[in-house]
């Protein structure tokens, strides 16, 4: 209803660019599609600039910030004219905000850093929409991806003594039919961590297994998150061990209607 | 051995990993409950950080003020540039008093300086009196945690250790019996000690006094019985005023173990009649760390151990995997400053999840410093050729959209068409325990172009 009114009034007089991170583009295109369709459903005039690659995080987090400069510049070239840059990845948005100081801080760079938003943050706090009209009758566990949680503060974390909130949780709670399950450890890291996943393979796998187990122990059918990278890691373990769980990016749930 | 190799070995025994993880998570959870019961906890953290940052910026003045006041109180003050000098000073004080039997309460600084072996080489008996420290001392190991030094040992292991060294009866790891026996054993050491060494938690510039926090009262027991008390402290232990203890004692106890106050917060100011008190103030690389703008905040640390308890990697790899005096997240930003090559794997033993920075009572930006050390390590230490080249290649691919598209296509095709046995063969570390996603026919990019 609210969405309809907004549609009519054409309130969204803004230019929105969609950033699809490299690994989503290549390995999880369905997450990109869901993000785009969802934004269009919400009547956002969204553009996907061709020629995008990566935010530079894989090199930078491995200690090779210098090798990420090309990716950063490419990102700025693609996105500097948008009022908002929306991406289905808290981690990439955080990287742009926090680590794009590796290139000279021109007006364009500053603008890009200021305007980048993780998807849930954008829907809830820019569009000011809580109920996106989705239906998803399943038991879902929220994995609060760390870079979004403690980097972008997309929710309160268990370490700090602050009022409780969670952007992904607020959006998910409005989805009809969904049952959000409570985890024993509400915001423990999954152990992906980029190249950490291979450099520290043993710990990475153990962390992932524990994260999956927490969801299984609490009866989740689906693990969702703001980051597909965490989910790729967890899915890798789940399929290898043939466990009764699915992973879905939050965009896929918010875009569901059945 | 680098961190990853040591962690892999630790993970061979999954049951023990689970136990270690749960034991430390329990402490973290207690800390949460206790921190969340303080209204204005975040304010307290701000204050703690502010006072420490201010102190570090005026360290020279506060150290001198502290020395002046301590001297006025009748305490002898010594300065040591490094660990060696620290050991020599302590040794000479002991010699001067002809002290042959020494009791020591917990001090990570003396661990850092390797004081025990130095004194033992001269036939001095030095007994660690903190129960956890005594356990690792008997086992000829080092502490694996700064607050819970023997957290890596099960009670059954302690049972065996005590049977061997203290002649206890087998008890199936009964904690009450074991601590009772340790108590008897340590009492005798306290009574006969010629000197006591303690660490320092807080040294107060405007009084010249210092505070030592223990849960077992062992610092007091040592210092009150022996005729000589030597307190060893790093230069960063200074706080300006007595009243600042109201901030730090609250932060420390809650962050460390979830207690509202440490059982014994003992204030020392002047020697008792007929006894001597010495303070040894140690640099040992701290001024160098202070000179690094990106890393100086690491010196704000009050050694509560909360970053270890919260760290998902520490909990699953054990303190010894860090091969450093101070393990865990804080150790991983301190140690590279001491020996970059030796500790080059530590800043990579993290997912940069940021939990350490948020739990830290003095708000050290630990995960940001880990990121910054990574940038330095790849420049200043030798890196595997394959790693350097692959990063260069990735950097190149990601700066050229057409190249990215081509490489993406090949990768997706391979994931779709190559047999699993090849995809998950040895060079693919990911595939050891995890599947890769099956390569979709169309990338998002291609789908989007066709859609229009
Ligand atoms: S870095 Fe912070 S959390 Fe870690 S031991 Fe020091 S004070 Fe405690």
Total Cβ atoms within 10 A of residue B294 = 15
Of A68, A91, A126, the residue at which a domain comes to its end is A126
Same domain, A119 and A215: no
Return the pLDDT at B253.
Answer: 97
Residue B63 φ/ψ, nearest 5 degrees: -65, -40
- Cβ-in-10-Å burial (0-12, 13-18, 19+) of B324 comes to buried
Nearest CA owner, ligand 1 atom 6: B301
- Using CB atoms, pick whichever of B312, B351, B447 lies closest to residue A33: B447
Residue B29 φ/ψ, nearest 5 degrees: -65, -40
Q: Are B89 and B402 in contact (CB under 8 A)?
A: no
Using the atom order of ligand 1, give the atom closest to the CA of residue B308.
4
Same domain, A101 and A122: yes
Using the atom order of ligand 1, give the atom closest to the CA of residue B328.
4
Count structural domains, chain A: 2
Look over chain B and give the mean of its residue pLDDT values, rounded to a whole number.
Answer: 96
- Using CB atoms, pick whichever of A61, A63, A73 lies closest to residue B399: A73
- Distance, in Å, from the CA atom of A156 to the CA atom of A150, rounded to the nearest integer, reads 8
Contact at CB, A233 and B396, closer than 8 angstroms = no
- Distance, in Å, from the CA atom of B143 to the CA atom of B336, rounded to the nearest integer, reads 19
Any idea which residue has 């040794």 for tokens?
Answer: B91
- Distance, in Å, from the CA atom of A89 to the CA atom of A227, rounded to the nearest integer, reads 5
Q: Are B315 and B355 in contact (CB under 8 A)?
A: no
Every domain of chain B and the residues it spans: 38-284, 291-380, 387-451
Q: Are B47 and B242 in contact (CB under 8 A)?
A: no
Of A126, A161, A186, the residue at which a domain comes to its end is A126
Same domain, A69 and A108: yes
Same domain, A81 and A181: no
CA distance A237 to chain B (A): 5
B330 lines ligand 1 (CB under 6 A): yes
User: In chain A, what residues touch B432 (CB-CB under 8 Å)?
Assistant: 201, 205
- Distance, in Å, from the CA atom of B90 to the CA atom of A7, rounded to the nearest integer, reads 78
User: In chain A, what residues touch B4 (CB-CB under 8 Å)?
Assistant: 199-203
**A237: CATH:** 3.40.50
Q: Report pLDDT digits (tens) over B397-440.
A: 999 998 888 888 888 988 888 888 787 777 788 999 999 988 89
- Distance, in Å, from the CA atom of B393 to the CA atom of A103, rounded to the nearest integer, reads 19
Nearest Cα residue to B59 out of B242, B294, B266, B296 = B296
Nearest Cα residue to A192 out of A181, A206, A178 = A206
Q: Are B41 and B244 in contact (CB under 8 A)?
A: no
B305 lines ligand 1 (CB under 6 A): yes
- Using CB atoms, pick whichever of A67, A194, A240 lies closest to residue B392: A67
Using the atom order of ligand 1, give the atom closest to the CA of residue B329.
4
User: In chain B, what residues touch A228 (CB-CB under 8 Å)?
Assistant: none
- Using CB atoms, pick whichever of A65, A159, A162 lies closest to residue B375: A65
Using the atom order of ligand 1, give the atom closest to the CA of residue B366.
1
Return the pLDDT at A9.
Answer: 45
Cβ-defined contacts of A157-160 (< 8 Å, 24+): A157/A187, A157/B355, A157/B358, A158/A186, A158/A187, A158/B32, A159/B32, A159/B310, A159/B355, A159/B358, A159/B359, A160/B42, A160/B358
At residue B330's C-alpha, the angle toward residues B324 and B334, to 5°, is: 60
Task: Tell me: pLDDT of A1 over 60.
Answer: no
Q: B149 by DSSP, 3-state: which?
A: coil
Hey, is the C-beta of B188 within 8 angstroms of any chain A C-beta? no
- Distance, in Å, from the CA atom of B207 to the CA atom of B238, rounded to the nearest integer, reads 11
Chain B interface, best mutation among A57, A161, A225, A248, by max B CB count within 10 A: A161
Return the pLDDT at A6.
Answer: 54
Q: What is the CA radius of gyration of chain B?
A: 25
Same domain, A122 and A203: no
The answer to whether residue A133 sits within a structural domain is: no
**CATH classification number, B38-284, choose in 3.30.365.10, 3.30.200.20, 3.40.50.10420, 1.25.40.10:** 3.40.50.10420
Nearest Cα residue to B278 out of B343, B215, B246, B233 = B233
The answer to whether residue A244 sits within a structural domain is: yes
The answer to whether residue A198 sits within a structural domain is: yes
Return the pLDDT at A8.
Answer: 47
Return the pLDDT at A11.
Answer: 55
User: In chain B, what residues touch A26 (CB-CB under 8 Å)?
Assistant: 408, 411-412, 439-440, 443-444
B364 lines ligand 1 (CB under 6 A): yes
- Distance, in Å, from the CA atom of B383 to the CA atom of B340, rounded to the nearest integer, reads 13
Domain extent at residue A204: 139-254
Within 297-326 of B, beta carbons closer than 8 Å to A belong to: 310, 312-313, 316-317
Same domain, A150 and A120: no
- Distance, in Å, from the CA atom of B64 to the CA atom of B208, rounded to the nearest integer, reads 10
Return the pLDDT at B423.
Answer: 79
Same domain, A103 and A203: no
Q: How is residue B67 written in tokens? A: 């020395």
Cβ-defined contacts of A239-242 (< 8 Å, 24+): A239/B435, A240/B433, A240/B434, A240/B435
Q: Report pLDDT digits (tens) over A79-111.
A: 999 999 999 999 999 999 999 999 999 999 999
Same domain, A82 and A162: no
Of A126, A161, A194, the residue at which a domain comes to its end is A126
Q: Are A168 and A224 in contact (CB under 8 A)?
A: yes
* Chain B residue with minimum CA distance to A31: B444
The answer to whether residue A132 sits within a structural domain is: no
Mutate which of B47, B108, B255 for ligand 1? The one with the most ligand atoms within 8 Å of its CB, which is: B255
Q: Report pLDDT digits (tens) over B53-105.
A: 999 999 999 999 999 999 999 999 999 999 999 999 999 999 999 999 999 99
Q: Profile chain B (452 residues) by mean pLDDT over runs of 10 residues.
A: 96 97 98 96 98 98 98 98 98 97 94 97 97 97 96 95 96 96 96 97 98 95 96 98 97 97 96 97 97 98 98 98 97 97 97 98 98 97 91 92 88 86 81 90 93 75
Q: How is residue B253 written in tokens? A: 């106890």
One DSSP character per residue, B180-202 reads HHHHHHHHHHHHH-SEEEE--SE
* Chain B residue with minimum CA distance to A23: B408
- Distance, in Å, from the CA atom of B173 to the CA atom of B261, rounded to the nearest integer, reads 29
Same domain, A25 and A85: yes
- Distance, in Å, from the CA atom of B137 to the CA atom of B14, rounded to the nearest integer, reads 26
Q: Ligand 1: distance of its center to the CA of B202 in Å?
A: 14
B52 lines ligand 1 (CB under 6 A): no
Task: Tell me: pLDDT of A12 over 70.
Answer: no
B44 lines ligand 1 (CB under 6 A): no
Contact at CB, A64 and B378, closer than 8 angstroms = yes
* Chain B residue with minimum CA distance to A75: B399
Nearest Cα residue to B21 out of B311, B254, B258, B303 = B311
Using the atom order of ligand 1, give the atom closest to the CA of residue B363.
2
B318 lines ligand 1 (CB under 6 A): no
Nearest Cα residue to A245 out of A256, A257, A231, A227 = A231
Same domain, A56 and A172: no
Q: Ligand 1: distance of its center to the CA of A76 in Å?
A: 37
Q: Report pLDDT digits (tens) over A148-167.
A: 999 999 999 999 999 999 99
Look over chain A and give the mean of its residue pLDDT values, rounded to a whole number.
Answer: 94
Q: Ligand 1: distance of its center to the CA of B289 in Å?
A: 16
Q: Ligand 1: distance of its center to the CA of B330 in Å?
A: 6
Same domain, A121 and A150: no
Return the pLDDT at A190.
Answer: 98
Same domain, A143 and A122: no
């Amino acid at each position: 209803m609210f969405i309809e009114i907004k549609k009519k009034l054409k309130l969204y007089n803004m230019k929105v660019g969609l950033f699809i991170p490299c690994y989503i583009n290549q390995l999880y295109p369905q997450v990109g599609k869901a993000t785009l369709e969802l934004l269009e459903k919400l009547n956002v005039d969204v553009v996907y600039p061709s020629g995008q690659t990566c935010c530079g995080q894989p090199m930078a987090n491995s200690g090779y910030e210098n090798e990420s400069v090309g990716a950063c510049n490419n990102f700025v070239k693609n996105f500097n004219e948008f009022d908002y840059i929306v991406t289905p990845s808290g981690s990439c948005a955080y990287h742009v905000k926090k680590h794009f100081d590796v290139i000279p801080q021109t007006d364009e760079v500053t603008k890009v850093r200021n305007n980048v938003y993780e998807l849930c943050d954008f829907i809830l706090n820019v569009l000011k929409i809580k109920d996106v009209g989705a239906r998803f009758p399943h038991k879902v566990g929220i994995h609060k991806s760390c870079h979004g949680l403690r980097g972008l503060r997309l929710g309160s974390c268990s370490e700090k003594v602050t009022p409780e909130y969670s952007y992904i949780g607020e959006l998910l709670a409005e989805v009809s039919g969904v049952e959000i399950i409570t985890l024993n450890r509400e915001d423990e890291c999954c152990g992906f961590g980029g190249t950490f996943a291979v450099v520290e393979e043993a710990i990475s796998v153990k962390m992932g297994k524990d994260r999956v187990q927490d969801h299984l122990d609490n009866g989740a059918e689906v693990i969702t998150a703001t980051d597909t990278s965490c989910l790729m890691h967890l899915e890798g373990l789940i399929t290898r061990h043939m466990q009764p769980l699915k992973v879905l990016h939050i965009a896929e749930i918010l875009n569901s209607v059945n | 051995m680098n961190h990853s190799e040591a962690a892999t070995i630790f993970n061979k025994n999954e049951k023990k990993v689970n136990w270690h993880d749960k034991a430390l998570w329990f402490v973290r959870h207690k800390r949460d409950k206790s921190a969340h019961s303080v209204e204005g906890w975040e304010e307290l953290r701000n204050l703690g950080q502010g006072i420490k940052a201010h102190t570090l910026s005026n360290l020279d003045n506060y150290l001198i003020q502290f020395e002046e006041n301590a001297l006025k109180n009748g305490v002898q003050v010594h300065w040591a540039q490094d660990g060696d000098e620290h050991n020599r000073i302590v040794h000479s004080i002991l010699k001067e008093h002809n002290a042959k039997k020494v009791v020591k309460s917990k001090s990570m600084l003396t661990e850092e300086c390797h004081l025990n072996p130095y004194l033992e080489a001269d036939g001095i008996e030095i007994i660690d009196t903190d129960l956890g420290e005594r356990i690792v001392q008997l086992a000829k190991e080092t502490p694996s945690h700064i607050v819970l030094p023997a957290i890596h040992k099960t009670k059954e292991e302690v049972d065996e250790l005590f049977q061997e060294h203290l002649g206890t009866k087998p008890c199936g790891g009964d904690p009450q019996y074991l601590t009772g026996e340790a108590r008897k054993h340590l009492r005798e050491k306290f009574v006969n000690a010629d000197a006591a060494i303690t660490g320092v938690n807080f040294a107060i510039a405007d009084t010249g006094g210092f505070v030592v926090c223990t849960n077992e009262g062992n610092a007091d027991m040592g210092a009150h019985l022996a005729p000589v008390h030597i307190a060893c402290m790093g230069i960063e232990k200074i706080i300006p005023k007595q009243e600042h203890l109201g901030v730090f004692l609250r932060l420390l106890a809650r962050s460390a173990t979830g207690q509202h106050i440490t059982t014994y917060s003992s204030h020392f100011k002047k020697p008792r009649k007929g006894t001597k008190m010495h303070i040894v103030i140690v640099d040992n690389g701290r001024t160098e760390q202070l000179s690094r703008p990106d890393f100086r905040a690491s010196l704000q640390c009050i050694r509560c151990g909360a970053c270890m308890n919260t760290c998902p990697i520490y909990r699953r790899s054990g303190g010894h995997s860090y091969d450093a005096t101070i393990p865990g997240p804080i150790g991983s930003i301190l140690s590279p400053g001491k020996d970059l090559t030796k500790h080059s794997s530590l800043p990579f033993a993290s997912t940069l999840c940021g939990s350490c920075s948020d739990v830290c009572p003095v708000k050290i930006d630990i995960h940001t410093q880990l990121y910054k050390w990574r940038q330095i390590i790849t420049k200043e230490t030798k890196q595997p050729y394959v790693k350097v080249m692959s990063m260069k290649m990735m950097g190149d691919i990601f700066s050229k959209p057409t190249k990215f598209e081509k490489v993406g296509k090949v990768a997706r095709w391979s994931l779709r068409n190559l047999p699993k046995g090849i995809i998950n063969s040895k060079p693919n570390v990911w595939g050891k325990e995890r599947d890769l996603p099956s390569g979709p026919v169309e990338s998002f990019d291609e789908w989007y172009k066709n859609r229009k």
